[in-house]
Amino acid sequence: MAKVFISYTGVDRAWAHWIGVTLRDNGHVPFVHEWEVGAGQNVPRWMEQRIREADHLLGVFSNAYARGVYSNAERWAAYWQDPEGRDGFLVPVEVETVTDWPPLARPLNRLSLVGKTEGEAEEALLAFLEPPAPPATRPPFPGAAPSATSTAPAAGGNGSGTPSSFIDRSEPLPAARPTLPSAESSAGASGGGGGGRSKPPGEVPSGADEVPDPSDRDAFEAWLRSKPGSCSVVIAARAALRALPFVRWRKLTENDAATIALPIFRATAVSRFASVYTNHKTANAADNAAVDMSIAAEITDIDLDAVRAEAAAKAAARFAAYAVARAGDAKAAATAAVYAGDATGFAATAATRADARQLSRGVPPAQLARVPLWPTETDGIPSALTERRNELAADLGRLGSHWRVWLNWYDEILAGSPPSPERSEAWDAAFTDVNEPLPWDDGPEAVNLAIQARLDALSVEEASAEIPDQTAAPVRVEERGGKVASVRDRDSPLRASERDFEAWREPVVEHIQELASGDFAEGTNHSRIRDRLVSLGRLLPGDIADVKERQFRIGYEIERFERLIAAYRSGGDDMPAMNAASLEDLEALRIALSMGVDKLERWGEFRRLAAADPKREGEADREAVGEAMDEMAADMERKPAYFDPELPASFRFLAEAVKDPLGATKTIVYGAVKSVENLFSFLGRRALGLGRKVFDEAEKPIPKAVAASLLLGLADAALKLSEALPQGWAWLEPLLASLARSSGL
């Protein structure tokens, strides 16, 4: 006995129920959705499960059934179960004379119950489902005279009971475009066209550029067959994407969102992915999306004449997925293009032809897939589509804020999405099952939140990949005592022995003290030189560990000192006069300082990096850098619970040094910029959950949320500093955007 899925339209419900009861009473197991699916239950899930369980799908054929989107989708599901017709999965049973059999059913052995009595119909139906077998008794010799007991072939069949072979697997789609309801009944309903029978206004002759009119499906299919399969995939994907907004989103309920909206996005997303990444394996994901889309089309087989454009938009999505699933099938692509034209009032037909011309001119399919969806040569986005896109935004918002993820996706595709770190293969794959399945059975919210989680994770990966590592600079940052603090340099190495360092330092300090108390004593008109001498006289003495800790301040003071001497030598208008002997004394001190300060390893490493400066950060706008650092210092001072007081103090010192009109060298500016970069590197990595994983038992680490909040508080000043650089920080805005999203700001 067989399990039989009974496929029918509402018009033929009585026949379907009679067939179901007849099969049940004779030991078969009929699957009739009205007998099994209760209120609020998931119809698509039931259909998918039962079709997989069934031995046959029995189609109750009438003219209404032959035209219906609902029944058409079920027949497609049956076709994919048995594409060559070898297992007899699709069983056509005619209950009303069908004037135009669908192409999928034409080659199949079928049964007609038209004109039969109930007893005859029951006998014929049960016999038709019996597997073919040789006769139980020896047949009469064919050469003998005809016998009165000879029988004619079974009605509607070929007499053998054996199903005719189906079309070859390489030809998986109908030979002619499946019938849609008449254009007259849907005129003005939603901008739909006339089913491909009329031509778009102002159409270009079909021979132009050797690209036929896509509304002529057979000719366009033949053209696509002359191209690689990737051309069919991109044509189908872009056609379906153009038609997508023409679904009647305003009429969708929350239940419809699961059974209609989600499958449409699923099918278009996987076909779009396949069109961009032509070498990726997408067939399984596309096949599942196509089946899901077929069920979505079934659900809305109600008052079809009023929803022609919507049905066409759904069909375009379905055939786009089939084009991918069947390795760039030209027939599926051509069919998707025709349906997209129907849905958009032929606007998509012109756009599809423009795409085809690009392919004809040698544009790679993957490149075409990334350009704006509506070509400028066809006057760009049609006004009707703009209106529909706005309706789409409003209606998806009504269904729930989680739908925003799909609206953002569609806007990206609409505008064109050239390759970028933000729009990578992983971003496109996030909307599909290509790498990992999405929870489609759990409903729209679960799927959409899963996609958003993927995008958030990608955002973190992209942001963290771009954040520069900390580098040698006056300020490097660490966490100490639960606060953000400067890295200590007390234990940093010397590039000489301590005895050699002392041998250099002692005479230098003596010389500084001599100058500060002599020619440059307090009250002279060389106050700027005196300030540098006093600072150096305070910073250089003491334990060597203390000097190491102060090495960047020492280095900065020496940089400023050298700059002042150069200003004295050039004799600027605002520089006081200085006798030659004093100038020579200063020059001797400068040489001595330069020879010894590089003995401090961290400073020496920094000087080498500053001299290279490949991004010319030392050439940044000094005033802007100084102002930004003062702003950051002020913000840190307002948050003493999180920032060690030495850190804002160091930023104040750097800001003052950078803004010194005579003392600010490129090295000083470079060091200030790198110090801010180090702070953002530390906070950014901590906010993204990177960095140290192990802390001392007594230490309370800075949480991710706190690090994100601290960083965002410094963001405005950092953006100003970035703008002051010859080459701004490309990593900064993606980092801030990622943190703002994860913080819900």
Distances in whole angstroms, Cα of residue 572 to Cα of each of 287, 508, 565, 577, 740: 78, 28, 11, 10, 49
Do residues 92 and 75 lie in contact, with contact meaning Cβ atoms separated by under 8 Å? no
CA 58 to chain CA mean position, Å = 41
- Reported as a single tens digit per residue, the pLDDT across 353-399 is 999 999 988 889 888 988 888 876 555 566 767 777 787 788 778 88
Instruction: Please check the confidence at residue 302 and state whether its pLDDT lies above 50.
Output: no
Higher pLDDT, 418 or 131: 131
Distances in whole angstroms, Cα of residue 129 to Cα of each of 157, 165, 617: 12, 17, 82
Residues above pLDDT 70, as percent of the chain: 77
User: Which DSSP letter does residue 344 get?
Assistant: H
Kindly provide the b/e burial profile for residues 172-188, where b requires at least 16 CB atoms within 10 angstroms of the residue's own CB: bbbeebbebbebeebee
Instruction: Please check the confidence at residue 185 and state whether its pLDDT lies above 80.
Output: no
Look at the chain and count its residues: 745
Distances in whole angstroms, Cα of residue 535 to Cα of each of 575, 587, 648: 20, 17, 19
Rounded Cα distance, 370 and 351, in Å: 14
pLDDT for 93: 95
Rounded Cα distance, 407 and 415, in Å: 12
Burial of 690 per CB tally in 10 Å (0-12, 13-18, 19+): middle
pLDDT for 428: 86
Higher pLDDT, 644 or 416: 644
Tokens found for residue 403: 């739908």
**Residue range 55-83: mean pLDDT, rounded:** 69
Instruction: Please check the confidence at residue 104 and state whether its pLDDT lies above 50.
Output: yes
pLDDT for 200: 38
Instruction: Please check the confidence at residue 673 and state whether its pLDDT lies above 90.
Output: yes
Confidence of residue 251 (pLDDT cuts 50, 70, 90): low
pLDDT for 146: 44
pLDDT for 187: 30
User: Which DSSP letter does residue 498 get?
Assistant: H
The residue type found at 220 is: F
**Residue range 178-206: mean pLDDT, rounded:** 35
Higher pLDDT, 589 or 199: 589
Q: Which positions ≥6 away from 71 have C-beta within 8 Å?
A: 7, 8, 9, 59, 65, 298, 301
443 Rama class: left (phi>0) / alpha (psi -120 to 50) / beta: left
pLDDT for 528: 87
The H or E element containing residue 92 is strand 90-94
**Residue range 6-15: mean pLDDT, rounded:** 88
Instruction: Please check the confidence at residue 626 and state whether its pLDDT lies above 90.
Output: yes
Burial of 707 per CB tally in 10 Å (0-12, 13-18, 19+): buried
Phi/psi at 643 (5° precision)? -120, 125
Higher pLDDT, 164 or 256: 256
Evaluated on CA atoms 480, 485, 490, 491, the torsion sign reads positive
Rounded Cα distance, 740 and 213, in Å: 48
Q: Which of 253-257, 528-532, 536-540, 726-730 has the lowest mean pLDDT?
A: 253-257
Instruction: Please check the confidence at residue 84 and state whether its pLDDT lies above 70.
Output: no
Instruction: Please check the confidence at residue 60 and state whether its pLDDT lies above 60.
Output: yes
The DSSP string of 124-163 is HHHHHHSPP---SSPPPPTTSPPPTT--PPPTTS-SS-PP
Residues above pLDDT 90, as percent of the chain: 23
Q: Which positions ≥6 away from 168 have C-beta within 8 Å?
A: 84
- Reported as a single tens digit per residue, the pLDDT across 427-470 is 888 899 888 889 988 888 999 999 988 887 776 666 555 788 89
Rounded Cα distance, 455 and 266, in Å: 16
**Residue range 653-674: mean pLDDT, rounded:** 90
pLDDT for 309: 61
Tokens found for residue 138: 């020896």
Confidence of residue 68 (pLDDT cuts 50, 70, 90): low
- Reported as a single tens digit per residue, the pLDDT across 152-180 is 333 333 333 323 222 222 333 333 333 33
Helix residue spans in 370-497 (DSSP H):
383-399, 404-415, 425-429, 444-466
**Residue range 469-487: mean pLDDT, rounded:** 91
Rounded Cα distance, 58 and 369, in Å: 40
- Reported as a single tens digit per residue, the pLDDT across 319-340 is 777 777 777 788 888 888 888 8
Instruction: Please check the confidence at residue 725 and state whether its pLDDT lies above 90.
Output: yes
The DSSP string of 333-357 is HHHHHHHHHHHHTTHHHHHHHHHHH
pLDDT for 463: 55
**Residue range 22-29: mean pLDDT, rounded:** 91
Kindly provide the b/e burial profile for residues 588-604, where b requires at least 16 CB atoms within 10 angstroms of the residue's own CB: ebbebbeebbebbbbbb
Confidence of residue 502 (pLDDT cuts 50, 70, 90): confident
Confidence of residue 654 (pLDDT cuts 50, 70, 90): very high
Q: Which of 125-129, 460-464, 728-732, 738-742 has the lowest mean pLDDT?
A: 460-464
**Residue range 671-676: mean pLDDT, rounded:** 95
pLDDT for 422: 54
**Residue range 98-127: mean pLDDT, rounded:** 87
Do residues 342 and 221 lie in contact, with contact meaning Cβ atoms separated by under 8 Å? no
Query: What is the residue-averaged pLDDT of the chain?
Result: 78
Phi/psi at 339 (5° precision)? -65, -40
pLDDT for 168: 29
**Count of CB atoms situated within 10 Å of the CB of 605:** 16
Tokens found for residue 475: 């300020």
**Secondary structure of 598-629 as H, E, C letters:** CCEHHHHHHHHHHHHCCCCHHHCCHHHHHHHH
CA 30 to chain CA mean position, Å = 43
Q: Which positions ≥6 away from 52 have C-beta within 8 Å?
A: none
pLDDT for 71: 52
pLDDT for 243: 83
Instruction: Please check the confidence at residue 344 and state whether its pLDDT lies above 80.
Output: no
Rounded Cα distance, 422 and 419, in Å: 8
pLDDT for 294: 59
HSE-up of residue 384 (Cα within 13 Å, Cβ side): 18
Q: Which of 198-202, 414-418, 518-522, 571-575 has the lowest mean pLDDT?
A: 198-202
